[in-house]
A and B are shown apart, each in its own frame.
Chain A
Amino acid sequence: MAATTLQTKLARAREADRAALVGYLPAGFPDVESSIRVIEAMVEGGCDVIEVGLPYSDPMMDGPTIQRAADRALASGTTTDDVFRVVEATAATGAAALVMSYWNPIERYGVERFATELAKAGGAGVITPDLIPEEAQDWYAASDRAGLDRIFLVAPSSTDRRLELTTGACSGFVYAASLMGVTGTRAQVADTAETLVRRTREVTRDSGLPICVGLGISTAAQAAEVAAYADGVIVGAGFCQRILDAPDLETGLIAVRSFAEELAAGVRSR
């Protein structure tokens, strides 16, 4: 199978001896059209990959910032079909476009139908924070057929056996949760992050599967610190916060672009 845009982006970052910058934003935050503009600013600032969040009513893994952003998106009427529109616009920027979604909206839309529509919109893959490989049989089949990358999570509490199982089920990259907790900014990068990446490298040595680290990374210095040992740095709440704090969209876009630039410099200072 041909490489996905995600795989290409990560390979290029690796060739350039830097980490990739992965930015997250819920589709429809603060509304569908504006979220496209925010994502364009993220890409202009230097994001290689965008995780387009599918806003969900019960986001168990998210802290207050992303919950608030997703609530705003739902309140503005964002649907799964809107998510595909945002993915299409994201792919048009040249960045790799992923969807990050809790499992129920995907299952409800129809697993096959979701995969087909996402591929049609130019999406490269899906991150599924509450789906573990043991429950993913339908998703394996649908994502394979549509040529989408499947990104599962590993956590500091994952056993060696589970690291092997989970990385074996992933393509594109594996999402390493830096700490035991939910999304949101933290004062410093947890010391569990580097240990988890090292343990994950042990089981991905043969496949070379990239490892991207997320949760709690929100400054250029933190991005640089993580870039020293990871293939990608994932930032979400920091982008959402800048839009929440801005008095209007234009001000927010400037803040988002310059934040992405800082982070992009961070992932290049290995």
Chain B
Amino acid sequence: MSHAQPVPDAHGHYGRFGGRFAPEALIAALDEVEAEWDKAKDDPAFRAEFDELLKGYAGRPSLLTEAHNLSEHAGGARILLKREDLNHTGSHKINNVLGQALLAKRMGKTRVIAETGAGQHGVATATACALMGLDCVIYMGEEDTQRQALNVARMQMLGAEVVPVTIGSRTLKDAINETFRDWVANVDHTHYLFGTAAGPHPFPKLVRDLHFTVGAEAREQVLELTGKLPDAVTACVGGGSNAIAIFAAFIPDESVALYGFEAGGEGADTGRTAASITAGSHGVFHGARTFVLQDEYGQTLPSHSISAGLDYPAVGPEHAHLADTGRATYEPVTDAEAMDAFRLLCRTEGIIPAIESAHALAGALRLGKRLGPGAVILVNLSGRGDKDVNTAAAYFGLIDSEGQA
């Protein structure tokens, strides 16, 4: 945490992006979160408690696994997997929720609210709240509650209340809108545990800082394994939390190329996509200036991806800035490419990845062919695929769309 980058500026701007486009009623709460995090991150007692939770509860540090069998499919490049899929609750999300739940308690809040798309962030939040004795309400688009009924049950088992959102497009973006509405009304005792590195300042910075350990661990692990820094670091990008998690520690290493792979959906130029940097334009969305999928009047366009966790029409402002400055490169990966990589990892390495992470993997295979034999590519395997078995089985024709074999 002490290695956090100097950007953003005091008002949360990353170059031309970021900032705070939020109702005045929330400014005091955002200021409080910012001030409390500034204190907590330098407080040895807080850090010790957080580090202990990461180690003793989440299972950190996560492993670095070399995917030897995958190399021949990647132009001979060495593929190193950062195994965030092995964390408790099955993804990198646990880092952020543990940190923010601790912060909520420190601020004296007794209730935590959060949005979720596929349910990963909701399950992680419900987990942290169960552990720390906080009331928990999760907003989830009605469509997603039907598609992800198992995760709804999971959150309920953990003691959370799940509220289906029936307004707008009834997906992740509408769940975020609804969570903000709850927050405005209940901000005196409620913390909004934002799930990705987006939203109004200080959320993009807070979420990045809480995930910083992912890239920091991986950097040490790659150095130890190969004796040098990787040639490239890759991650999938929806809102961008797992990507900034693994990028952040490498940003000062100029020799290391950073690649974010967006959800291309059916193709970034088809209109059925979630690739907001590739196919979107500058705009203000969910509290920050960033890249947004929008029409000529600034109305948000529906996004599409086979991966619910990447199905979001915008991206965190730091990624917009990294794209703008050229420090990181963002490319789309289609549903089909991601699912090919998904199957390949299952068959060659015995690892079922989250469909989100399969986008990073597909990108790494593409990149390996470009960089050639011997290149070292670090992939953030941000989550495991248990939650995606239904989607994948239907995609590969193992079951019908009703879930029957």
User: Which A residues contact B (CB, under 8 angstroms)?
Assistant: 56-61, 63-64, 67-68, 71, 74, 79-80, 103-109, 129-132, 134-135, 152-159, 162, 166, 177, 180-182
Cβ of B399 < 8 Å from any Cβ of A?
Answer: no
| Neighbour of B25 across the interface among A56, A106, A156, CB < 8 A | A156
Selected contact of A153 from candidates B11, B23, B188, CB within 8 Å: B23
- Besides A104-B284, A180-B184, A181-B181, 20 other CB < 8 A contacts? A57-B299, A58-B168, A58-B285, A58-B300, A60-B181, A61-B181, A74-B299, A104-B298, A105-B298, A108-B283, A109-B298, A129-B23, A130-B21, A130-B23, A132-B20, A155-B24, A158-B28, A177-B24, A177-B25, A180-B188
Q: Does B369 contact A (CB under 8 A)?
A: no
The listed residue with most A CB atoms (<10 A of its CB), out of B26, B29, B294, B297, is B297
| B123 smallest CB distance to A (angstroms) | 25
> Could you tell me if A132 and B181 are in contact, using CB atoms closer than 8 angstroms?
no
Whole-angstrom distance between the alpha carbons of A71 and B300 in the complex? 13
| Interface SS of B by simple majority | mixed
Query: CB-CB < 8 A to A71: which residues of B?
Result: 167-168
Query: Which residues from chain B contact A108 at a C-beta distance below 8 Å?
Result: 283, 294, 296-298
Interchain CB contact under 8 A, A104 and B283: yes
| Interchain CB contact under 8 A, A135 and B21 | yes
A108-B283, A157-B187, A159-B28 known; A60+B300 contact, CB < 8 A: no
Nearest-CB residue, chain A, relative to B29: A157
Show 22 A/B contacts (Cβ-Cβ < 8 Å), sorted by A.
Answer: A57-B168, A57-B299, A58-B168, A58-B174, A58-B285, A59-B177, A61-B181, A67-B167, A68-B167, A71-B167, A104-B292, A105-B298, A130-B22, A130-B284, A135-B20, A153-B23, A153-B24, A153-B25, A156-B25, A157-B29, A158-B28, A162-B27
Whole-angstrom CA separation of A103 from B188 in the bound complex? 26
A107 and B300 within 8 A (CB): no
Query: Smallest distance from the beta carbon of B291 to chain A beta carbons, Å?
Result: 12
Cβ distance A183 to chain B, nearest Cβ, rounded Å = 10
Interface string of B280-291 (1 = CB under 8 A from A): 000111110000
CA distance A132 to B30 in the complex (A): 13
Nearest residue, chain B, Cβ from A175: B24
Number of B residues contacting the other chain (C-beta, 8 Å)? Answer: 36
User: What B residues does A103 contact at CB under 8 A?
Assistant: 21, 284
Q: Are A61 and B28 in contact (CB under 8 A)?
A: no
Query: Does B192 sit at the interface, judged by CB under 8 A?
Result: no
- Chain B residues near A129 (CB-CB < 8 A): 23
Contact A132 B22 (CB under 8 A): yes
Distance between Cα atoms of A225 and B19 in the complex (Å): 38
Closest to A79 in B: B297
State the CA gap A86–B331 with chains docked (Å). Answer: 42
Q: For chains A and B in complex, what number of residue pairs have CB atoms within 8 angstroms?
A: 114
B185 within 8 A of A: yes
A58 touches B167 (CB 8 A): no
Q: Which of B174, B180, B284 has the most CB of A within 10 A?
A: B284
Contacts of B25 in A (CB 8 A): 153, 155-158, 177, 180-181
Asked if B359 is an interface residue, CB under 8 A from chain A, the answer is no
Report which residue of A103, A166, A180 has the largest number of chain B beta carbons within 10 angstroms of its beta carbon: A180
Contact A60 B177 (CB under 8 A): yes
Closest CB of chain A to B271's CB: distance in Å? Answer: 16
Interface string of B368-387 (1 = CB under 8 A from A): 00000000000000000000
Most A CB within 10 A of own CB, among B20, B184, B286: B184
**Contact of B173 with A by CB under 8 A:** yes
Name the distance in Å between A82's Cβ and chain B's nearest Cβ: 10
Residue of A nearest to B282 (CB): A107
A165 CB, min distance to chain B CBs, angstroms: 10
- Cα distance A166–B168 when bound, in Å? 31
Docked CA distance A74–B173 (Å): 17
Whether the pair B181, A63 counts as a contact (CB closer than 8 A) is yes
How far does the alpha carbon of A156 sit from the alpha carbon of B185 in the complex, in Å? 11
Q: Closest 10 A-B residue pairs measured CB to CB?
A: A108-B298, A155-B25, A105-B298, A181-B185, A157-B28, A104-B284, A57-B300, A104-B298, A57-B299, A153-B24
Q: Within 8 Å CB of B27, what residues of A?
A: 132, 157-158, 162
A58, A68, A132: most-surrounded residue (chain B CB, <10 A): A58
